[in-house]
Chain A
C-alpha cells in the first residue's frame, strides 16, 4: 500500500481532507451533489444557462480540489469546503460577466473598470497552465488501456499489486506497461507543445 502524505491526526475535518486528497470517489461525488444545485441556482438567476452553470461549477470544483491537495486551503469542516466552492464559482461567474467575452454579446451593458494588475497572472504560471492543458489533452488522446492503467494508479491511487490483479497481469509487466504509457503521454504532450 502507498502512504498518504499527512501527519497523523484524527479530527473529522482531517478525514474529509484526507479523502479528497486520496480522490475518494464517494466523497467527491457527495461534494458535487451537495454544492452543484446552489451554484446552478445562482448562475441561472444571474443571466446564465444550465450549461454555463455546469462548466463554471466544474472549473470551481477542480480549482478547490487543487488548492486542498496542495495545502493552499485548509478547510476546518465540510461547511468550509462548501462555502469555498460556492465563493470560487460565484467569483468565476462574476469575472465572466465582467469580461470582454460577455460584454461583446451585450452592447447595452454598463462597463466595469477592471484592475488589470491584480487579475493578471505571471507569465510563468500561464506557461505552466498551458503545459498542464497539453498533458490533459494528450491523456485524452491516449489509448483506453493506458488511460485505465494510469487512472487506476495516479488518480485512484491503487497499488501496483492491486492493479496487476485487476488487469490479470503479473507485477513486472504491469510496471513496464505503466512506464511505456507514461513515455507515450510525455511524447504526445511535447508534440502538442510544438
Chain B
C-alpha cells in the first residue's frame, strides 16, 4: 500500500485540512472531492485522525493546567495555615485578656454572652441565580468575614437599600470586630419595616449599644425587637 502515490495523496489532503492550500488549489481540490467518493472517505478518515490528535493533546494539556492550579492552591493552603495559626494564637491571647477585663464590666459580659453571628441563609442548589450573594454566604459561614464583606460590598454598590445585604454586611462587620460599620449597615437594614430581618437587626443594634456602654440606647433597640433573647437582656439590665 505504501506507494509514492498514497504518500502524495496524504500530503495533499493534509494541506487541505490544515488550511495550507492557496485559494485556487482549494477550489480545484473541492471540485474533485465532490465527485470522488474514495477521496471523500480518505479526507474524512484523515480529519478524524487530526481531531483525535488535537483532542488528546488538549486533554494532556488540561491535566498540566490542572496540576498548576492545584500547585498554586497548596501554596495558598500553607499560607492559610500560617494565617490560621496566627489567628488562633491571637484569639487565645484576646480570650485571656478579655476574660480578665470582662470581669469588671457587666455590659461586656452580656455582649459576650449574647453575641453569636447570625447562622446565615441556607446555600442551596438553585442558588445560582444569585451566585455572588450565596458565594459570599459560603465565605461568611466559614468565618471568612473579610472575604464575605468584600463580595457583598460589590453587590451593595448597586443595591444600597437592600435589607438582606445591609443586614449581613452589618453582622459580618460586627463579627469582624468593626462595630462602627456594623451599626451603619444594621441601621439601614431597619429602615425597611417589612424586612424579615428587622427583629434580628434591632437585637444586634442593641448589643452594639451595650458594648458602647449606652444602656438607654440599648434598651430602646431591644424593646423594638420581638426576640426572646432581647427580652432576656432587658430583664438583666433592669
Contacts and interface: CB of A to CB of B under 8 A. Distances in A.
Contacts of A151: 53, 57
A62 B59 contact: yes
Nearest to A176: B7
B116 interface: no
Interface stretch (A21-29, A103-111, A114-122, A161-169): A21-29
Interface stretch (A9-17, A74-82, A129-137): A129-137
A18 interface: no
A189 B125 contact: no
A175 B11 CA distance: 9
Contacts of A3: 19-20
A183 B48 contact: no
B228 interface: no
B58 to A, nearest CB: 6
Interface in B131-153: 135, 138
A28 B49 CA distance: 22
Nearest to A5: B19
Contacts of B10: 179, 182
B229 interface: no
Given A2-B19, A36-B66, A140 B56 contact: yes
Interface string B59-71: 1011101101100
Interface of B: 2, 7, 10-11, 18-20, 45, 48-59, 61-63, 65-66, 68-69, 123, 125, 128, 135, 138
